[in-house]
Amino acid sequence: MRKVTLEQIFTHPIAQKYLGRSGQAHAIAVAEYALAISEKKQVDPDLAVKAALLHDIGHYEWYRDGKWDYDLYRQNDIHAIKGAARAHKLLIRLGENPQAAKEISLAVLLHTDSYLPEQNLKRDPLQQVVAEADTADEETGGAHHYKTISEQEALKRILALDNSIEKRMISKVQTS
């Protein structure tokens, strides 16, 4: 039923490389929040969780003299734009349905408005789920980006998410 699983996305070398920049623990926590919020808002859990997992995949490393430079970051960051493109490329490469890949990457693009000149975004329900899930895991001073998680724990939670999404999709088919 699903063309691509979360496990396939998470274990791909592109995701492994770039999710580490903003923290795998944050990506997984946001994916878990998105699963719960998507249920309340009746949003497709597969799209919501994939977009949530990939929402920060576009981060660049803004280091100056070995330290993260927040001024450089704020002035130059386009991680949502970069992330949307990166997520789309990865999903298509894995064989995702092109319409789903587009919706997921749009939700990545619009998960924040920090890079836009005017901050008055109107988000559709899927995009709202991802933005809300991201906010739910936010900690002061950007501490959510520095949480760590073991490889084993990460994969366990990814597999649990895959399981929950599949169960919800099956029960939806049975009740419709």
Is 32 an interacting residue with respect to Fe ion (CB under 5 A)?
A: no
Question: One-letter amino acid identity for 123?
Answer: R
Piece of 33-41, 54-62, 121-129, 166-174 that binds Fe ion (CB under 5 A)? 54-62
Is 132 an interacting residue with respect to Fe ion (CB under 5 A)?
A: no
Q: Binder to Fe ion among 46, 103, 134, 162 (CB under 5 A)?
A: 134
Q: 16 or 171: whose CB is closer to Fe ion?
A: 16
Least separation in angstroms between CB 174 and Fe ion:
34
Q: How far is CA 37 from CA 52, 82, 121, 142, in A?
A: 11, 25, 19, 22
Q: What is the DSSP string of the chain?
A: --SS-HHHHHHSHHHHHHHHHH-HHHHHHHHHHHHHHHHHTT--HHHHHHHHHHTTTT----EETTEE-HHHHHHH--HHHHHHHHHHHHHHHHT--HHHHHHHHHHHHTS--TTSSS------HHHHHHHHHHHHT--GGGGGGG----HHHHHHHHHHHHHHHHHHHHHHHHH-
Q: 142 or 169: whose CB is closer to Fe ion?
A: 142
Q: 139 or 171: whose CB is closer to Fe ion?
A: 139
Q: 112 or 127: whose CB is closer to Fe ion?
A: 112
Total of chain residues touching Fe ion, rule CB under 5 A: 3
Least separation in angstroms between CB 80 and Fe ion:
6
Q: Binder to Fe ion among 56, 96, 103, 162 (CB under 5 A)?
A: 56
Is 77 an interacting residue with respect to Fe ion (CB under 5 A)?
A: no
Q: 32 or 56: whose CB is closer to Fe ion?
A: 56
Q: Which residues bind Fe ion (CB under 5 A)?
A: 56, 112, 134
